[in-house]
Amino acid sequence: MQKRVYIETYGCQMNEHDTERILSLLEGVNYLETKNPGEADFILINTCSVREKPEHKVYSALGRYKCLKEKRGTIIGVAGCVAQQEGDRLLDRVPYLDMVIGTHAIPMIPQLLQKKEVSGERVCETSFDQNGQYLKAVLPEKPLDKVKSYVTIMQGCDHFCSFCIVPYVRGREKSRSSKEIMEEVRSLAGMGVREVCLLGQNVNGYGKGCEGEIRFSELLERINEIEGLQRIRFTTSHPKDLSEDLVQAFSKLSKLCEHIHLPFQSGSDEVLKAMHRGYTKESYLEKIDRMKKACPSIAVTADVIVGFPGEEEEDFRQTLDLIEKVQFDDLYSFKYSPRKGTRAAQFKDKVEEKVKQERLSILQEIQKEVTLRKNQELEGRVVEVLVEGQSKQNTQDVTGRTRSNKVVNFEGDLNLVGKLVPVRIIQGYAHSLRGEIITHGA
Ligand code: SAM
Ligand code: SF4
């Protein structure tokens, strides 16, 4: 009998991709996706614990679905980082919760669900898999109705930045074999996927510790040769591991899009040291310089944290100075959020919430202007857009992205989806661009 699954996803691209994998796996045992939790037989909350806010959202989501459990007997599960971190404690705390699925247990979800259905017993699976089975691709059997796809190339992290929970909830760094990655990308390209985004916490460290494995830049070179594929992206990179061959790849590989996401976290050397990031403000700036020399049109985005323990006014000024010098295309900025079990959670000199908020607002105001100016600078220029689908705002419009990863909306037909088209930018806004397609002879 056909059943329905509803998945609510929090957090990063890694979680979004895990949700896609879970949906494909569940399709194999007759569970189809629904967007309506009220008609679901299984509700899964795929969680994030990188900061406190998304972690809290899990508990309010669970509260929302309690009545469905009572009314319809819906099976309720929690997956992802909070599941990994809390394990059995989550079952104790939420008596109507049926399943806790850790970050390495995704491939086991169909069996765990069947076990729950048959025995009625509550399930908790949070052991770390040692042989990398959890990294195996789950490829849908029918062609994807999709223009772009994520491909996980590695999982976990060995960096242990003092603020970050990832190494504890995703486990140690593990790369997938290049052979398997190539097979997956070839198969996706064969199904009509035009763009892949290679995923990992630290993709430029790809292959580390795997004897005989190729380097990240070589992996990019090989993917660049795959027929049918038009664009390659990757995220996230760590400044410490940004090698010269990767910098040069941007000028050499035609399908590699001109965009890098390179989180810097702080512009203060003292704070960077306390964060255990392994680089200085100067060496970060020097790497950006090399990137821009190798590829002048490259768009640079980053993550930054304000209010790390011990961050003084002068440290914050150094962060603003770095932002001023780089002129990022966009920035993801966060207030420091203490995470239980990380080293920084024990640090003294906590920064007051009010100060954190003030610094965040100052930084975001500055960045807003830079992003807008950069978008406006594109006005009048013709850019290549990969059309992804209909615009959410206006049904006459389609939406896509430039190679530099900026969203462009323009009037156009849905038969453009999946095509690369030349678009003239008419207006640059804070979060997107407005354009017009260049038709033949225009
Ligand atoms: N691996 C990536 C790197 O090293 O840049 C980042 C992965 S992390 C999931 C995404 C971003 O969340 C980080 O770059 C950082 O800015 C932010 N983040 C992580 N832990 C945080 C914390 N405790 N408080 C605030 N922001 C945090
Ligand atoms: Fe977290 Fe640092 Fe690893 Fe990124 S590199 S996932 S911030 S520990």
The answer to whether the CB of 261 is under 6 A from ligand 1 is: no
In angstroms, the CA 186 to CA 193 distance is 9
243-295 pLDDT, tens per residue? 999 999 999 999 999 999 999 999 999 999 999 999 999 999 999 999 999 99
The answer to whether the CB of 202 is under 6 A from ligand 2 is: yes
Nearest atom (ligand 2) to Cα of 265: 7
119-145 pLDDT, tens per residue? 999 999 999 876 667 667 666 656 566
The answer to whether the CB of 169 is under 6 A from ligand 2 is: no
Following CA atoms 85, 88, 93, 94 in sequence, which dihedral angle do they give, to the nearest 10 degrees? 100
Q: Which two tokens stand for residue 301?
A: 């985005």
Q: Indicate the top mutation candidate among 238, 275, 277, 332 to test ligand 2's pocket, ranked by most ligand atoms within 8 A of CB.
A: 238
- Specify the pLDDT at position 439: 84
Indicate which ligand has the atom closest to the C-alpha of 51.
1
In angstroms, the CA 298 to CA 261 distance is 10
- Specify the pLDDT at position 1: 85
- Specify the pLDDT at position 401: 98
The answer to whether the CB of 281 is under 6 A from ligand 2 is: no
Q: What is the mean pLDDT of the chain?
A: 94
Whether the ω angle into residue 34 lies within 30 degrees of 0, i.e. cis, is no
Cα–ligand 1 centroid distance for 164 (angstroms): 6
- Specify the pLDDT at position 141: 59
| CA-proximal residue: ligand 2, atom 5 (nearest) | 159
Task: Specify whether the CB–CB gap between 415 and 389 falls below 8 A.
Answer: no
Q: Does position 440 have pLDDT exceeding 70, yes or no? A: no
pLDDT above 70 coverage of the chain, percent:
96
- Specify the pLDDT at position 143: 57
Cα–ligand 1 centroid distance for 169 (angstroms): 13
Q: Indicate the top mutation candidate among 48, 154, 161, 241 to test ligand 2's pocket, ranked by most ligand atoms within 8 A of CB.
A: 161
Nearest atom (ligand 1) to Cα of 344: 23
- Specify the pLDDT at position 442: 54
In angstroms, the CA 357 to CA 320 distance is 15
Nearest atom (ligand 1) to Cα of 48: 9
Cα–ligand 2 centroid distance for 397 (angstroms): 38
Task: Specify whether the CB–CB gap between 399 and 409 falls below 8 A.
Answer: yes
Q: Does position 387 have pLDDT exceeding 80, yes or no? A: yes
- Specify the pLDDT at position 132: 67
What's the pTM value of the predicted model, to 2 decimals? 0.94
Altogether, the residues listed in the chain come to a count of: 442
The answer to whether the CB of 167 is under 6 A from ligand 2 is: yes
Mean pLDDT calculated for residue range 297-304 = 98
Q: Indicate the top mutation candidate among 159, 162, 174, 208 to test ligand 2's pocket, ranked by most ligand atoms within 8 A of CB.
A: 159
- Specify the pLDDT at position 130: 63
| CA-proximal residue: ligand 1, atom 9 (nearest) | 50
Task: Specify whether the CB–CB gap between 310 and 352 falls below 8 A.
Answer: no
Q: Which two tokens stand for residue 417?
A: 């989806």
Indicate which ligand has the atom closest to the C-alpha of 276.
2
Indicate which ligand has the atom closest to the C-alpha of 334.
1
Q: Going by DSSP bridges, is the β-strand pair 195-199/148-152 parallel, antiparallel, or unpaired?
A: parallel
**Top-confidence residue, 5 or 393:** 5
Cα–ligand 1 centroid distance for 349 (angstroms): 20
Cα–ligand 1 centroid distance for 266 (angstroms): 11
What would the DSSP string read from start to end of 357-400? HHHHHHHHHHHHHHHHHHHHTTTT-EEEEEEEEE-SS-TTEEEE
Cα–ligand 1 centroid distance for 408 (angstroms): 28
Cα–ligand 1 centroid distance for 120 (angstroms): 38
| CA-proximal residue: ligand 1, atom 7 (nearest) | 201
The answer to whether the CB of 96 is under 6 A from ligand 1 is: no
Nearest to 41 by CA among 125, 127, 102, 99: 99
69-119 pLDDT, tens per residue? 999 999 999 999 999 999 999 999 999 999 999 999 999 999 999 999 999
- Specify the pLDDT at position 139: 64
